[in-house]
A and B are shown apart, each in its own frame.
Chain A
Amino acid sequence: MNAFKTSIRDALANPNLTGALGKFSEAYKVNRAKAYEGIDFEALRDTIATSKAHAAAHLDELAERFTRNAEACGAKVFRASSPQAARDYILGVAKKGNVKTIVKSKSMASEEIHLNAALEAAGVAVSETDLGEWIIQLAGQTPSHMVLPAIHMTKEEVADLFSKAVEERLTSDIPRLVAVARDTLRPRFLAADMGISGANIAVAETGSIVLVTNEGNARLVTSLPRIHVALVGVEKLVEAFADIAPILKALPRNATAQALTSYVSVITGQTPNTDGTPKELHIVLMDNRRSEMAADPQFKQALQCVRCAACLNVCPIFRLVGGHVFGKVYTGGIGTILTAWFDALKASGDIQGLCIQCGACKEVCPGKIDIPALIMELRRRLVREEGLPAAQKAIFAVVNNRPLFHGMLRAASLAARPLSKGAFIRHLPLFLSGLTDGRSLPAIAAVPFRDRFRKISQPPCAERAVFFAGCLIDFAYPEMGEALVRILNKAGIEVVFPEKQTCCGAPARYSGAYEVAAQNAIDNIGALLDERTTYVVSACPTCTDALAHEFGAVFESLGMTEWLDKAKALAAKTVDFSTLVTRLIDEGRLALPEGAADARGTVTYHDSCHLKRTLHAEQAPRQLLRRAGFTLTEMFECDTCCGMGGSYSMKLPEIAAPMLQRKLRNIRETGAPAVAMDCPGCVMQLRGGFDQDGAGVRVCHTLELLDEALRDA
């Protein structure tokens, strides 16, 4: 087992970590929603993204303007291109000022350049003063979270650390521990020669830095010592003083669900020291590859980050494994991206694979950064530079050859039969056994949909729709395809199934194999684009997303612009099942059975990631189920990923399994006898889970429930 897998295993086996993080992540979503009551978050983040994107596009100009204005007010501004330059400058200031002790408030930039180690090597005593930072300093660890650095530790662990620090046996009483921190650090604030802070915002127009804190330590760090050094990443620059208002509205709400933190300090140039002398203020504007990011057409948007850590807080993976699996400085979704740039692309090789691409982070990012898309881009660049692992290469060689691929799926149906019991494969041999840990896999259907389709007789219809089945419906759940045909026929639509359709390319794309995904796209365009059909309908949101958005994106990223028109034409016709059926009902072409509301019993609905977050179609299936006579009862965290994530559950089954367990629990707790969803991948994951769980909850695609309602009518 490699070090990365070991770190995952250790994190998952740490009950303190998973317990504390799990509880926090559940409460966070509720509290954050409350903090945003009455606020138009989309409008707010549009404003922030616009001002930060503008700043990222004019970094040099804004840095110059900031320097001029801050220096006019007595600050010294040093522009450091590298971590080494920043460290050297700060060491120089400390030496010149005869600095013996330093107090620090929280600064991720200082973690980025490992500043404490450099200062300590030069014989200067450094005290972190943010409670969380002090805890991890005492523990000799690195922060696991940008805002809550010690969230992975228990009060007992903190009591042990503090007991050693103050040489007194302390209990795990939290108010007492906080009082010990206050009493221990207070004399250090008063004695320190230098204070080091970060900055949350730097304003070019005024030369001001803005610090957002809760504990009050930054006020002491910037007021009491005679020298103040602020270490600021250049991405913190904004142009205008007015730009700070939207950031100050979103940052506390996103970070800690507060309307505003206890303290915000806006510091502009020199202020008087307590002895009346003017304070030395040094502002280090650090680049460390940020300008290179700004010049990258994809990654420039990562500079819109305000470091709120919301992407960590909502990440279903982060809450299981915590920060340290991601690395030593920046963690979570945005951390993966920053590590790839500030450290090295190669350093993100393992951690980019932690992302299941559920898109939860993208929904809450106040800088509107498409974090999942940037992680995909990292994956693509890694594969471009280092190639695919041999096993994946072999798999994609097959996926890229449709007759071979489909032939193998048919063969698998026969080969797996001795292993399967009923509709499931319960155990897989040897190294594959992790795949059936907590979940049964569906047996490959004896007769795939493509063969069954030929035997379906359809009534004469005026309109035609192409059905894109996707691999799961074609080879594992052909009955879903048959139900779809019945439903569309009732609306007067004949279903066409072009046999040359193949894999939608998502598995290849999620592995960074864009050339394979492009070949899949070309094959599918050839098979699916047909002037005589009005729609291309799919009952798999991942496939729908591929057809509607990703074919074009893959062609664009590979420069295959000659295919863009066809990709657009296909996208225009593509629609997911529930959206299409809703449209047909609204047009009066399909009638659901009249009858008493709630006649069909209770069902809970699981939001599939792509249906909700890329197709934004989460209301359509809910309406359909209600119209069909079901009572809908919502589960807790209905839109949290079930852990399937395509091949994710095969690459990282140890993470996917607890995600599944949490989802199963939330479904069970509704008491509903059935759960509906729009994705055959989720169906596979949840059916497999309930098969081993034995709770007897029925797992259905929405179309199966609609089909039953229509057949009973």
Chain B
Amino acid sequence: MMFEQFKRRAETAHAEVHRFPSKTEAVDFLADLLRHEAPADGTSPAALIAPCPLLTPADRERLAALPGVSLDVTRERAAAATFGVSQMDWALADTGTLVQDATDIALRLVSTLPAVHVALVTTAALVPDLPTLLPRLSPAKSRHLAFITGPSRTADIERVLTIGVHGPKRLITLFIDADGITA
């Protein structure tokens, strides 16, 4: 129910939304996506994966073994990469919004500079709306809270909607029903 609402809202905001029964299928999907759409040019990695608690060391190793994929996020690499992968902490159903404690600069680098941002999130992280989420947040600890609804957009020239101005041109959200660590 909340997922359906999220999906509808996020898609209205031009996000792509996928859902997987477990983390294994999500990682398979991600690996496929990176293999096909993020070919390395050899000089710098095409895809950067920021620390994601959902990914086990084995998952990370598997993804890092793909050509052009790196786990080492720096400013220079993020500026050159096409794909950035990070994990989101919450999702707001009523606006199709992903929410992240982005205090770690690596999380912001991979979600702002590359043309495509792939966001991992658990279905359990869905909450109905912002008023429900706010009491759970602690700004003093989460120094940079990022709310993301669809890709970057502008309508500053003649009110014509154009996707992808300074931020990502695509936002691909992967919902995972069970985190797969305990399963």
Give, as a whole number of angstroms, the nearest-CB distance from B83 to chain A: 16
* Chain A residues near B12 (CB-CB < 8 A): 259
Q: Return the contact of A73 from the options B96, B97, B143, B152 (Cβ within 8 A).
A: B143
Please name all residues of chain B whose beta carbon is closer than 8 Å to the beta carbon of A272 when the two chains form the complex.
Answer: 103-105
Is the Cβ of A20 less than 8 Å from the Cβ of B134? no
The answer to whether the Cβ of B144 comes within 8 Å of any Cβ in the partner chain is yes
Q: Is the CB of B165 within 8 A of A263?
A: no
The residues of B that contact A20 with a CB separation of less than 8 Å are 158-159
Q: In the complex where A20-B158, A177-B157, A249-B130 touch, is A263 in contact with B167 (Cβ < 8 A)?
A: yes
Q: Which residues from A are CB-within-8-Å of B46?
A: none
Which residues of chain A come closer than 8 Å to B155, judged between CB atoms?
148, 214, 256
Q: How far is the CA of A215 from the CA of B147 in the complex (A)?
A: 13
Segment 143-197 of A: residues with Cβ below 8 Å from B: 148-151, 153-155, 158, 174-175, 177-178, 181-182, 185-186, 189-190
Closest to B97 in A: A260
* Contact stretch, chosen from A1-9, A216-224, A433-441, A558-566: A216-224
Q: Which of B109, B131, B139 contacts A208 (CB 8 A)?
A: B139
Can you name the residue of chain B whose Cβ is closest to the Cβ of A136?
B156
Report the Cα distance A153→B158, complex, angstroms: 7
Q: Which residues of A contact B149 (CB under 8 A)?
A: 259-263
**Which residue in chain A gives the minimum CB-CB distance to B171?**
A262
Q: Is B127 an interface residue (CB 8 A)?
A: no
Interface residue SS majority, chain B: loop
B108 at the interface (CB under 8 A from A): yes
What count of chain A residues pass the 8 Å CB interface test? 67
Q: Does A82 sit at the interface, judged by CB under 8 A?
A: no
Set of chain B residues within 8 Å of A266, measured between Cβ atoms? 137, 139, 142, 144-145, 147
CA distance A69 to B143 in the complex (A): 12
In the complex formed, the residue of A with least CB distance to B160 is: A174
Q: Does A524 contact B (CB under 8 A)?
A: no
B7 within 8 Å of A by Cβ? Answer: no
Known: A242-B134, A245-B130, A248-B130. A264 touches B147 (CB 8 A): yes
Contacts of B105 in A (CB 8 A): 223, 271-274
Q: How far is the CB of B125 from chain A (nearest CB, A)?
A: 17
CA A415 to CA B40, docked complex, whole Å: 88
Q: Which of B13, B97, B152 contacts A216 (CB 8 A)?
A: B152
Point out which of B150, B157, B168 has the most chain A C-beta atoms below 10 A from its C-beta: B157
- The A-B contact count (CB < 8 A) is 173
Contact status B143-A150, CB under 8 Å: no
Question: Is B178 among interface residues, defined by CB-CB distance under 8 A?
Answer: no
A158 contacts B157, C-beta separation under 8 Å:
yes
* Contact across chains for A215 and B167 when beta carbons are under 8 A apart: yes
Judge if A480 is at the interface, Cβ distance under 8 Å: no
| With known contacts A73-B140, A177-B157, A219–B146 Cβ distance under 8 A | yes
Residue contact A217 to B165, C-beta cutoff 8 Å: yes
**Contact present for B167 and A224 (CB under 8 Å):** no
Our pick among B74, B112, B156, B162 for the contact of A219 (Cβ within 8 Å) is B112
A263 touches B157 (CB 8 A): no
Residue of B nearest to A243 (CB): B134
Stretch at the interface among A125-133, A295-303, A456-464, A604-612: A125-133
A residues in contact (CB < 8 Å) with B: 20, 23-24, 27, 69, 72-73, 129-132, 135, 148-151, 153-155, 158, 174-175, 177-178, 181-182, 185-186, 189-190, 203, 206-208, 214-217, 219-220, 222-224, 241-242, 244-245, 248-249, 256, 258-274
Given contacts A69-B140, A207-B140, A219-B166, 20 further A-B contacts (CB under 8 A): A132-B156, A135-B156, A151-B156, A155-B160, A178-B154, A178-B162, A182-B166, A190-B79, A215-B167, A216-B112, A248-B130, A256-B155, A258-B13, A259-B95, A262-B151, A262-B153, A266-B137, A269-B140, A271-B105, A272-B103
Q: What are 12 A-B residue pairs whose CB atoms fall within 8 Å in the complex? A: A73-B140, A135-B156, A150-B156, A181-B165, A219-B146, A244-B134, A260-B96, A260-B97, A262-B153, A263-B147, A263-B152, A266-B147
